[in-house]
Structure 1
Amino acid sequence: MPQYGILIFSPAPADPMALTPEHIAALERYPAQVEELGGRAVTGFAFQPSTVATAIRGDVVSDGTFHDTREVVAGFFVLEAPDLDVALRIAKLNPATRDGGVEVRPLFTPPPA
């Protein structure tokens, strides 16, 4: 089954772990919704706040993220879904779409040798 990277965005510099009870309840419902639509979360991770990030460009190491932006990547997960349409339907249900957003990207699979 095709796999998709789901990038979770949250307002910067918000702590992605400072969640409201409503957000937590929506997160608890999400796995069942994913399965109902025919998908499966393969793995996922939440990042610590962007304020503790370290960026490296060339030889320069600096505190913080690469970009000065209103939103930062708060985490990601890998989703298996029958096709992109199902992956998008699943992504739209993610609670992060309420105060941040999500981005769906098909994972690269090399062509057969």
Structure 2
Amino acid sequence: MQYLLMLYSDEAGWHRLTAPEQKQWMAAYQAYTGALASAGALRGGSHLASPRTAVTVRVAGGRTQVLDGPFIETKEQLAGYFIIEAPDLDDALAWAARCPAASHGVIEVRAIGTPPSP
């Protein structure tokens, strides 16, 4: 089964890091991505552009509304994602716990392609 790991973090946190700290975090993400790939679990993933570049689309009353910026105002923004293959939710949660984002943000884990509960 595939799972989406959504990585949420405080965008300002990256800019507060020194250059060596940023390099250390990048190495941690590269190692994590390598571990996913070596285990055959990696299906895709990427970091995302700043939330300031987001555009939100909503259709209300038959009219399309396009708004600049993210819809939800929160301290932590969606910063990136991984799509992984895991035999079950417990395995997906174990991968999420190993992700560097778990130590400086939040990771939301969702199964992909499962029908909604009744």
- TM-score class, shorter-chain normalisation, is 0.7 to 0.9
Question: Which residue is equivalent to 1:45?
Answer: 46
1:97 aligns with 2:96: no
Identity %: 34
Q: Give the partner amino acid of 1:106.
A: A
Q: Distance in 1 between matches of 2:73 and 2:26?
A: 28
Kept in 2, the 8 Å contact 1:3–1:80? The answer is yes
Unaligned runs of 5+ in 1: none
TM-score, scaled relative to structure 2:
0.77
Aligned ranges 1:1-113 → 2 under 5 Å: 2-12=1-11, 20-34=22-36, 38=39, 40-58=41-59, 59-109=64-114
Write out per-residue CA displacement over residues 3-28 of structure 1, whole angstroms, 9 at most, x where no aligned residue.
10111111146669x87122111112
TM-score, scaled relative to structure 1:
0.80
Unaligned runs of 5+ in 2: none
Q: Give the partner amino acid of 1:24.
A: M
Assess, with a 3 A threshold, how the Cα gap between structure 1 residues 14 and 51 changes in structure 2: closer, same or farther: farther
Shift of 1:57: 2.3
The count of corresponding residues between Structure 1 and Structure 2 is 107
Q: Which protein has the larger Cα radius of gyration, Structure 1 or Structure 2?
A: 2
Q: Distance in 2 between matches of 1:88 and 1:76?
A: 14
Q: Distance in 2 between matches of 1:15 and 1:92?
A: 20
Kept in 1, the 8 Å contact 2:57–2:67? The answer is yes
Measured on the aligned residues, the alpha-carbon RMSD in Å equals 2.5
